[in-house]
A and B are shown apart, each in its own frame.
Chain A
Amino acid sequence: MCTVCGCGAHQTVANEDADHKDPVHTPAVGFVIQTADAVTHTHAHAPLRQGVRRVQVEQDILGLNNQYADKNRAEFAQRQLFVLNMVSSPGSGKTSLLTETLKQLTSQHNLAVIEGDQQTTNDAERIRQTGVPAVQVNTGKGCHLDAHMIGHALQQLPALQDGMLFIENVGNLVCPAGFDLGERHKVVILSVTEGEDKPLKYPDMFHAADLMILNKTDLLPYVDFDVQRCIEYARRIHPEIEVLQLSARTGEGMEQWIDWLLKNQKGVTGSENTNSVRVASHV
């Protein structure tokens, strides 16, 4: 049985009606039972039948996920981890961006990756080839990672302290937007082969993300992708969203991304290092 929540089994692979609006319903802490005899309702409900009662619940449906997310956040803080939740559609280049990022940071930083996919351990294997530990979470039929899965995956990384943890979410521009994992930032990756109107088509994700990375910029000469329009669309959804343009394949623009990481991890992780000092000097 796991020590995170007491559940029996999990899927981490270690190193491998509109008329119901009356003022009688007031939000309650916990719940209140109203029996058919003592009902105070005088409104649009059909009359209660004998033997039937009402139970007020007033629970946020994502409340449990959010509790696990808070627990993760506390553990991230205690371990001094800067944690990013990387989200995108499938094929945007998340894993390639990560492997290139890890190669640049691994000599000076403690790093780890949690990989989410419906099936296979392919991505975790690609990450491990860089020498960075990776935990694969297979969601099976699930379309997103949730905070509970991350809590389990974190147990597989007991040595990770004072560094960066990248969570590569399931390739999906819809569902992962709604699930807080306890991360510091969501980072949305959009490749220029996807079409510049993605922020308007999938607004929830671009609203939830603090940074948008436009990847595969080396392909811009071959595609009809209007970078400025894409950024304008993203800022309609989320006026403060930061934007970086890069190509993980050619390395163009990678320096700004590394600088962004080093700048934003400050104050989260404990260690200062030559790189972050260098970055701080020109921010």
Chain B
Amino acid sequence: MSERTEKRTQVADVDRSLYDFTYSEEGYERYDDGLTPDIVRAISEKKDEPEWMLAMRLAALDTYHAKEMAPNWGPSIAGLDMDHISTYVSPRTKQAKSWDDVPDDIKNTFERLGIPEAERESLAGVGAQYDSEIVYHNMREDVAKDGVVYTTIEDALHDPQWEPVVHEYFGTLIPPADHKFAALHYAVWSGGSFVYVPTGVKVEYPLQSYFRLNAEGAGQFEHTLIIVEEGADLHFIEGCSAPKYYEANLHAGAVELFVKDHARLRYSTIENWSKNMYNLNTKRARVGADAQMEWVSGSFGSHVSYLYPTTILQGDRSNCEFSGITFAGATQDLDTGCKVILNGADTTATVDTKSISKDGGCNTFRSSVIVGRRAANARCSVSCQSLMLDDISRSDTIPAMDVRNATASVGHEATIGRISDDTILYLMSRGCSEPEARTMVVGGFANPVSKELPLEYAVEMNNLIKLEMEGAIG
């Protein structure tokens, strides 16, 4: 076990303090709660944006107010009152390229989360967002020399070379009118990452963005825009966490991924928002010919989640693999899944998801597979396995398939069940306590997904499962 893991174990043995620690907001810039055109203008002015971006924000605000939530959708978000959410909180610090230049409280936060250490050991670049602003951004020089760009959207907008690129791509894959919270995102977005990988460049180590929401009663609305040019290759990791408050927090980010012909992008996420968080995030990828999109997703936190990463397999022979795990404990109602749209000929998609429900937690797996008329010989298989750990929890699977091509083949299978008594008895007869036996089985259940993650994140995910199962890591 690495020193870092041991350190985390000691912290988490006591309670969830690995994630549940806060620092004072004193001295921070915090905009009024609620949503008004003045707040939107203030955010835009603060960022000194181009005129087109302000116009987009204001139009999105109108869309947000005009759009109704579908009455037949998922877990309730009635507890989310936008009049009590501040959409912009800034720690009044400039973005740093060295951790030494980051204010102590913020640096301590990310050190406790292990970000600087991970950067030193295994990452090509790191972006760290604290509340509404990126506070640290850096990338290895050798990666930069290859022409890879990893910066914030704000910085890209101020760069004459990249402003037209952002203008061309921003908001095209997830339009502001997509749904109510996409419109909200575009009205008040702040922070996030812009990544550009030039043609043929393979980034050897992953890039990582970590999003930390420290403020109470606030929202985080980062925008991630990644363009992987033809034949390029990238692994991007996204992590997020927040301390627990009694007041609702909101995360409504957007992730737009453009994977060009023959390129490959792996997008890994470990989400561990606190259990007062409404996580209404939107992620979408468009994949070119012979290109590959891989999603690895672990969802552990949030009070309510609406999270359905979408892949549009536009190019012929493009491919998508989605591996996801969701763990819903007490007070959590997580509505997660994915969408795949197969438009190109000979496209293939594989979806493999697992969910675990415990202590009254609710999991809903929701998917849609759409095979378009020109998707000749498209192949898609969806597998969804759900584990119920007690009789007060709930697990639903709601897949939908729309197939419009005779040569396509689509398969779906789902199972819901519990750990068999025989298995527990077998393990106990070999010296395990019952909690250990149950944790072992759940760990094995999650293993196909955790093995897809980089080692340190696989360790973090396994620790999160132990934490949820036993109340402490040890």
* Same complex: no
B residues with CB within 8 A of A: none
